[in-house]
Each structure stands twice: as structure tokens, then as C-alpha cells.
Structure 1
Amino acid sequence: MNKLFTTIFAVTVSCVTVASLAQEIKGDAKAGETKNAMCIGCHGIQGYQASFPEVYKVPKISGQGAKYITAALNEYKKGERKHPTMRAIADSLTDQDIADLAAHYSADGVVAAAEPAKAEPAKIKEPSAEVQALLNKANCASCHGANFSKPIDPAYPKLGGQHADYLFVALKAYKTDNNPKVGRSNAIMAGMARQYTNPELKMLANYLSSVDGDLKTVPQKKFR
């Protein structure tokens, strides 16, 4: 019994140690700036539109939360987000690469969006009664925060100001089953998205894109 207990204890300590090391990975924004060659061809061009597997503007990722970027890339890597191109890119990244890219893009938007100290705070755009009812239905602000730009968990995305067509495609993906190229596996978001028809999701996406937020597409000075 003692030998068994010792073995179980050793395995447990080993697992905790591995988990702790994983949590201790620190992103380096400067290093991330040198690793984004595969990112800038889509995310570094304003208005760039993807054509596969669906047509939509690629998301703004500068100014997005680092923990969300990390979570999203790991979901592509594990196949929980079904996008062939993004999965291939994520598969090529180490945990350190992902941390560095997340640090770079989270800081990139903040620098680009810097405003004078005395600038007026961004005004909150009030939704129509119809859109407000849709927002209330899933209580979207309870997770994505004030003005949909201050999520309660840093692993949740900022939504305010994101491209409407991308948001619509992303929300639809949570409702998609048995498609090898489109779909997202997240039980909470799937439950939320399935409450809405596609026209209602489009209304939500259009409103969220109109809200002032931190998200930016920062043009690259040059391609490497």
C-alpha cells in the first residue's frame, strides 16, 4: 500500500510540476514581432478578406487579449476550431511561439490605439430595442464586459469593433456540426449561439462591430 501511495504521489507531483511549468511560459512581445511572418499576410492588411472555407474579413487581432489569443491558437492546434489554414499554422507553433505572438499582438493594438491623456472617453453606442433584447437573451455582456471590450475572464475575446462578417461566421460556427472545415467546439458558446437564428446572429454581429473597442488591424511596414 505504501509503495502504491508513493507511486501515486510521485505521479501527481510530476503532473503538477508539468502544469506549473506550462503556466509559467511568459510571452515576449519583441520576440513575437519576429515570429509573425505567417500572420501578417492576412492580419496585417486592412480589410483583407479570406476566401476559404468562407468569405469574410479576417479578424482584427491587434489589441486582443493575450490569453484569448493563446486559447484560440491552442484550440486550432487541437482541432477544436476547424479551420484548415489556421490549424496548420497553429500546429507549426511551439507553446513559447504562441505566448510570444499573443504578447506581441496584445501590445501592438494598445500602442497603435494610444490617445492623448485628456481625450474624451469612448461613447457607448446604444443598441436598438430589438438588438438589446437579443443581447439580453444570452446575457452577452455578463461575459464580454462593458462595451463588449472588458471580458470578465482574460481568456474570453474582446468583441467591440470586430468585423461584423467575421463575428457572424464565428457565431455560426458554434452551431455547426459534422463539418470537417467549419465549426467550433465550445459547450457554453454552442448553447448560447443555438438560441438564435442566423439572421439574429447577423444583427448581433452588426451591432458589436459598430461599438468602439480596442481591436485594430495594424498595417505592416514591410513583409518578410
Structure 2
Amino acid sequence: MIKRSLLLSSLLLVAGSLQAQDQAPDLDKAKQTAETLCAACHMADGNSQLAANPKIAGQHEDYLFKQLREFKGWNGNPPVRENAIMGGMVAGLEEADMRALAKYYSSFELQPEPAKNLETIELGQQIWRAGIASKGVPACAGCHGPAGAGMPAQYPRLSGQFADYIDVQMKAFRDGVRQNDPNSMMRMIAIKMTDPEIKAVSDYAAGLR
């Protein structure tokens, strides 16, 4: 009985080890994909040089995977996050490819962008830390953290991101163009904010470290 139990345990350990190996991200393939498919917009290390394309170096692995998956859509369902360019980029990727890419890019060190508009830093700081009480806008720090580090997988790291990119995404949430926020949270927040308020907090977030 003891020998049989030990044999069964050994078989389970081997099976578990093989399963773990099967599920391990193929980082070599991810590197190749990053250098051939992603680098034109995000650079091979995820430190994009253009504000139209976000910096993804050092971004939370779970968040990156969530976004990639939602750009593609699954099981016959349309993409949750619609984007013609990214939709084309992820069309040929399987779930394992996306997981590997997310892990690959999350491993790089972010080269942060600076805040550029000192005139609005006070307003941006106020919104980030305390929200806008008169409008029912909560503090950004409540979800994205005091230093903008975010919380995976729902809340991305915003510190060091392009201010212009954050601005565009907040307006996309506000206008209903982007709809992949959990429980419509960002849409309900952004719809209460003016363009100057969005710009101020976006610039402040870019300067966080």
C-alpha cells in the first residue's frame, strides 16, 4: 500500500511538472514576435518613442495580457476593446503567445516620460490625490496608487506614461469609444471631467515615479 501510494505521488509530481512545462511562456518566441511585429510601434523593449503608442515596458503582466486578449476577442465574440491597428496585430496570436508577450514586455525597465506642463501640476495633483468632490470624481490614487504604480490586472501603471496617451484614453472612455473598463468605472469617472481637468491629471501622472 505504501509503495503504491509513493508511486501514485511520483506520477502526480511528474504530471504536474510536465503540465507546468507546457504552460511556461515561450519567451524566445515572444522576443521574436516583439522584434518583428511589435517593435515598429512600441520598440523592441516596450519603450515607445511616440505618444500615440503607449510605453508598455514594465507594465503589469496581467494587464498587458488582458488588453491583448480584449483587442482580439474570443469564442466568436467581437473584441471588447476595438482598435483597427491592434486588432490586426493580434489576429494571428494565440492565448499562449499573448501570455508570453505580456511576460516579455513586463520584464523591461520603463524609461519614463517627464511631466511637461508645470502650470497645471497643482490641479493635476489635487485630482490625483483627492479627486473632484463637487463632481463625485474619486481620487485616481485610489486605484492607480499614490505613485501611479497601478494594481494588476485591472489598473495599469500610469507613472512615466506619455501624458498625451493618457489624455487620449481618458477621452475615449468619456466618449464611449473605449469600453473595456471593469464595471464602466473609467467611463463613469471621465464623463464628469472637462478637457482641462483630464489634461492636468494626465500630465501629473506622467511625472509620477
Give me the TM-score of the superposition, normalised by structure 1.
0.65
CA distance in 1 between partners of 2:82 and 2:164 (Å):
18
Alignment RMSD:
2.7
Extract structure 1 runs of 4+ deviating beyond 6 A: none
Q: Is the radius of gyration larger for structure 1 or structure 2?
A: 2
Q: Is 1:66 matched up with 2:66?
A: no
Partners of 2:31 and 2:104 within 8 A in 1? yes
How many pairs does the alignment contain?
166
Give me the TM-score of the superposition, normalised by structure 2.
0.70
Unmatched segments (≥5 aa) in structure 1 = 1-20, 50-55, 114-126, 213-224
Any idea what the Cα deviations from partners look like across 1:7-57, whole Å, max 9, x if unmatched?
xxxxxxxxxxxxxx9xx95434333112222100110186643xxxxxx43
Deviation, structure 1 residue 60: 0.6
The 5-angstrom pairing of residues 50-129 of structure 1 reads 56-78=51-73, 79-109=79-109, 128-129=121-122
Percent sequence identity is: 28
CA distance in 2 between partners of 1:197 and 1:132 (Å):
16
CA distance in 1 between partners of 2:200 and 2:23 (Å):
39
Give the letter for the 2:29 counterpart. Answer: A
Partner of residue 116, structure 1: none
Partner of residue 29, structure 1: 27
Partners of 1:64 and 1:109 within 8 A in 2? no
Deviation, structure 1 residue 97: 0.5
| Higher helix proportion (structure 1 or 2) | 2
Deviation, structure 1 residue 143: 1.2
The 5-angstrom pairing of residues 150-189 of structure 1 reads 151-177=150-176, 182-186=177-181, 187-189=184-186
Worse-superposed segment, 79-88 or 97-106: 79-88
CA distance in 1 between partners of 2:204 and 2:195 (Å):
14
Worse-superposed segment, 26-35 or 96-105: 26-35
CA distance in 1 between partners of 2:167 and 2:159 (Å):
13
Unmatched segments (≥5 aa) in structure 2 = 1-18, 74-78, 113-119, 132-137
